[in-house]
Amino acid sequence: MIRDFVYLRADTLKETLDILEQCKDDSKIICGGQSLLILMRQGLVSPRYLIDIKHLEELDYIKFSSQEGLKIGAITTHRTLEKSALIKKRYPVLVDMEKNLASVQTRNWGTIGGNLAHGDPTGDPGPVFIALNAIVKTANKERERTLPLEEFFIDFFETALEENELLIEIQIPVVPPKTAVAYEKFNIIKNDQGIVSVAASMTADDSGIKCKDARIVLGAAAPVPKRAKAAEQMLRGQKLNERLLDQAAEKASKEAEPVADVHASEDYRKFLVKALTKKMVMRSWEQAKRLT
């Protein structure tokens, strides 16, 4: 049962940050509430103040420049990303990811900033954005700051956001030449949360023969979206072959830190990490080679 709370709504970002500063010790931001309201019903959180930012047009945008890359306002909905022609052209993996994120109803209302700030390690956007080398911008009444998304996640449902801070923007650099990114999750029911997911970014060298760079990010396989850095290092500077792919996938499964639950055991999740890592590295590598 949800306890009584005070509903607050400001008309500007500045007013929101002022309210957040005043109520920081006992408040939550709501911007759709599809995750927050569940926690409130379960009694896991009981804020005295709910600060609604759903209507802040200042944080609802998609911008791109060839110098700075992509900037996404925190309250931009999943459906907006999914249907964006700009995203489809410049960052097609985001469209692929969004199409399999929950239901259309959820994507119509849920926001990208809310998803990331929730800190759920099974979420779809986290691994993909980290594979794309994303940065998040946060703000409070006094200052703004940025940090790499992979440093934003601290633990299960815990982020680097301070009590008086608001996530306001996601920044993604221009995708390097000859680079492709692929993402897939394994789930029992289509569009449900993934039991395990993997995002892989592969960059081919000028010849298209060797791997110039690799980023492999595991979802639902650790308390936070996790880079498989040892597996990445195995691929850099190498000609990819079946044996190397198997070795890198095995290394990624050993880097995973899955937790058993009603959906899957630790061993099964490690098995899925191995299978999906090989599949996503192969898929992104084949796409990258075609860009040379």
Q: Going by C-beta distance under 8 Å and a sequence separation of 6 or more, which residues neighbour residue 63?
A: 70, 71, 72
As a residue count, the chain comes to 292
- Distance from C-alpha of 54 to C-alpha of 166, rounded to nearest angstrom: 13
Query: Hey, which residues does 213 pair with through a beta bridge?
Result: 203
Question: What is the second-level CATH architecture of the domain 57-172?
Answer: 2-Layer Sandwich (3.30)
Question: What is the second-level CATH architecture of the domain 179-287?
Answer: 2-Layer Sandwich (3.30)
List the chain pLDDT tens, one digit each, 292 residues: 788 999 999 889 999 999 999 987 799 999 988 888 888 888 888 999 999 999 999 999 999 999 999 999 999 999 999 999 999 999 999 999 999 998 888 898 999 999 999 999 999 999 999 999 999 999 999 999 999 999 999 999 999 999 899 999 999 999 999 999 999 999 887 767 889 999 999 999 998 899 999 999 999 999 999 999 999 999 999 999 999 999 999 999 999 999 898 889 999 999 999 999 999 999 999 999 998 6
- Distance from C-alpha of 134 to C-alpha of 94, rounded to nearest angstrom: 12
Question: What is the second-level CATH architecture of the domain 6-52?
Answer: 2-Layer Sandwich (3.30)
Q: Going by C-beta distance under 8 Å and a sequence separation of 6 or more, which residues neighbour residue 155?
A: 119, 223, 224
* Exposure on the CB side of residue 14, measured as CA atoms within 13 A: 0
Domain boundaries, the chain: 6-52, 57-172, 179-287
